[in-house]
Amino acid sequence: MNDSKEPIKLRQRKMPSGNTTLYLDIYINGVRSYEYLKLYLVPERTRADKEKNKETLRLADAIRAKRVVELRNGVYGFKSAYATETNFYDYYRAMVERRRGEEKGGNWGNWRSCYHHLKIYDGRESLTFADITPEWVQGFKDYLEHDAVAWHHDIRKRLKDKPLARNSKVSYFNKLRACINQAFEERIIPYNPLRGIEGFKAEEGTRMYLTIDEVKRLAQVDCEYPQIKAAFLFSCLTGLRRSDVLRITWGDVYEQGEFTRLIFKQKKTKGQEYLDITQEARVLMGERGNPTDHPFSNIHSPTCTNKAIQEWVLRAGIDKKITFHCARHTFATMMLDIGTDLYVVSKLLGHREIGTTQIYARVMDKNKQAAVAAIPSILPTTVGGGEDKDKDKG
């Protein structure tokens, strides 16, 4: 039977213990929620295990059928408008699994790391959303701030514990925030315990970039991999991320008179972009191929690419630690350096918030440079800091 239109479905999810938890996936009036039944299937090693699982499944399906009847009779949810008894860790792990394959490996790994820290903070497997109070949330934040250490779930021995980095604290607390916010939207909880609790502020990293003269110098020096050189310089002239440079196909490239326009969807933000590029950027793309072909196709892994770029940069006599992403920083600072309006730079970079672009404005601040240049001279004109000899002769 095709249950694609059924509003209440019985779902299964395997747990780290080896058991399988059973829950109801409920979708009513555009709102999705989950009811964890506290029923579990066990690994079927014996005939008794199989019989037990059959009985458990029959019970779970009976509960599902009862909920469907309640829904059709218009009484579903009247007894309790919220599902606060939902198991928190079951709900969190389900969120993590849904994100598998949809997010970058590093961010998905942060979801898992946050789970390990949550279990250290409160190891109750029976923890429900009724237990998630503002005090509980503040307690987890305090744990991350003062007690949490990096690699805590790593069984290998280390000389000493290392406190969590600031941005790790930001990431883990944001994972809890996302879980609670979703539970609030899905009416698992009647109020949001995050209200009034501020998250961690991210530590602003150094945005390494190249000057216009350094980019010109690079363009004159050979790179071991010509395609990496072309892709990097293309990013310097367009501000595109590595992921977008590699995803662009010739079907995304439109010739409009003297201009070449890229129409594509950003991989990171999923936003639709319309980007006009310079003639030099177009030249770096090479000859037009089939609509499904990629102009920049022979590019290695990020690690290999960044190693080749660093060797190329050193060969050009530039003593900076440059990665592919620095090309995007270079484009942003170059635009601000030639006087481009901050709002326009924000649009060129595809930023959703202009505050993100303002970080580059702090890096390339012409007003501060002008102010420093206006400081009057206070040292004698003689090199070395000695007294003015001509004044002595007078």
- Does position 273 have pLDDT exceeding 90, yes or no? no
Cα 93 from Cα 352, distance rounded (Å): 29
pLDDT tier, 203 (very low <50, low <70, confident <90, very high otherwise): low
Decide: residue 152, CB within 10 A, 0-12 exposed, 13-18 middle, 19+ buried: middle
Of 139, 159, 161, residue with least CA distance to 149: 161
- What local confidence, expressed as pLDDT, does residue 339 receive? 75
Q: Is 324's pLDDT higher than 60?
A: yes
Domain ranges of the chain: 8-72, 88-185, 212-372
What is the arithmetic mean of pLDDT over 312-341?
86
Per-residue pLDDT averaged across 114-126, rounded? 92
Choose among 24, 107, 38: nearest CA to 70. Answer: 24
Q: Check residue 89 and give its pLDDT.
A: 92
pLDDT per residue as tens digits for the range 276-303: 888 899 999 999 999 999 999 878 888 8
Is the pLDDT reported for residue 146 higher than 70? yes
Residue 385's pLDDT band, with cuts at 50, 70 and 90, is: very low
The two tokens of residue 241 are 């991320």
One DSSP character per residue, 254-310 reads EEETTEEEEEEE-TTT--EEEEEE-HHHHHHH-S---TT--SS-----HHHHHHHHH
Mean pLDDT of 11-38: 84
Q: What is the pTM of this model?
A: 0.50
- The mean per-residue pLDDT over the stretch 160-167 comes to 78
Using CB atoms within 10 Å of the CB of residue 256, give its burial: 0 to 12 exposed, 13 to 18 middle, 19+ buried: exposed
Fold entry, domain 212-372? hpI Integrase; Chain A (1.10.443)
pLDDT at 4: 52
- Give the model's confidence band at 157: pLDDT under 50 very low, under 70 low, under 90 confident, else very high: low
Beta carbons within 8 Å of 7's beta carbon, 6+ residues apart: 26, 27, 28, 68, 71
Per DSSP, 349 falls in state H
User: Strand runs (DSSP E) across 190-257, as ranges?
Assistant: 253-256
